[in-house]
Amino acid sequence: MWGGVLPGRVHCLTVIGHSHTQQGVPVQLAFDYGDAAPGGDVGAPKIVRSVAPRAEPMEAARERAGSLSAGLAEALGQRVRLHVTDNRRVMLSASRRSGHLEVRLHHMFLDADAALVKALARYLSRGDRRAGEAIDAFIAAQSHKIDRRAPRRLHAAGDVHDLQRILDRLAARHFGGVFGAQITWARRTRPGRSRRQSIRLGTYVAEERLIRVHPVLDQRWVPEFYVESVVFHEMLHHDMPAEVHRGRRRLHTAEFRARERCYERFAEAERWERAHLHRLLASE
């Protein structure tokens, strides 16, 4: 079985099938996510928090994504925000947000013709059975483009801080008890020759639904409430996809910043960060 329509506001097609080897398919063709480092004085140390940096998609892929988004919007008669992913299991999902439809499609759909775009619109708008069958057939024909490599092993339990426990606690307090992303300590990188002026303490990789936390935080002198603040920030990136305004991605919107301040020890975490940033940089 290739997939079906779920009741309610969210639709998704999930692939369950045999393994295939990826042949020359780019790992990332995301249209709506990227790196956005906060500003700061040149040379000033800073904490960098954002979704993981991604290489700029090929111009042809960008054009196809734009054409696909426009075609869906026209067929549906409403605003569409498109995210192109390399998800291993979910090929198509959609949810309604204020004023638009949020659609996530595997990059195989960049090759969709006009007929399939119309089928996607019928499926998303009313769960049309024949449209679903056409989409199933397309996924079956393009299944060689699905990355079937084994997922990376996750390490949430650190020497000092247990990230899974922290995530579960935050999910219970701020996300209704259920959270659809995983978390792991990132791999420790080899130190460079020159002293670093910035450090990326957390990243969220939307295509993998994965939060990575820098292992420099897994130390006894780093308080758990600060690690919790970093995890909460990345959880918000999962819960609040990047907005696109006039062709530019916006990660840290006013709404994002307002929700970030909902963390109970937000002000205390900011004070701790300012006081210990140089120590974090030195121990990285």
pLDDT over 90, % of the chain? 36
d(CA 274, CA 211): 23
Tens digit of pLDDT for each residue in 45-59? 555 554 443 433 446
Q: What are the extents of the domains in the chain?
A: 11-31+55-145, 163-283
Higher pLDDT, 200 or 162: 162
On average, the pLDDT of the chain sits at 76
At 39, list the tokens: 């500003």
> 8: left (phi > 0), else alpha (psi -120 to 50), else beta?
left
pLDDT tens readout for residues 76-130: 999 888 888 777 778 888 888 777 888 888 889 989 999 999 999 999 988 889 9
Label residue 14 by pLDDT band (50, 70, 90): very low
- pTM score, two decimals? 0.53
Decide if domain 163-283 falls under CATH 3.30.2010.10: yes
- CB-CB neighbours of 205 under 10 Å: 20
The predicted-structure confidence for 239-271, as pLDDT tens digits, reads as follows 887 776 666 777 888 889 999 999 999 999 999
State the pLDDT at residue 127: 87
Tell me which residue has tokens 């219970």: 172
Closest CA to 219 of 196, 173, 188, 264: 188
State pLDDT tens for residues 168-186.
999 999 988 878 888 999 9
**If you compute the radius of gyration of the chain from its CA atoms, what whole number of angstroms results?**
20
Residue 26 clears pLDDT 70, i.e. is over it: no
∠ CA 222-227-233, nearest 5°, is 150
Tell me the per-residue pLDDT of 191-247, one tens digit each, with 9 for 90 and over.
Answer: 554 556 778 899 998 878 899 999 999 999 999 999 999 999 999 998 887 776 666
CA distance 67 to 69: 5
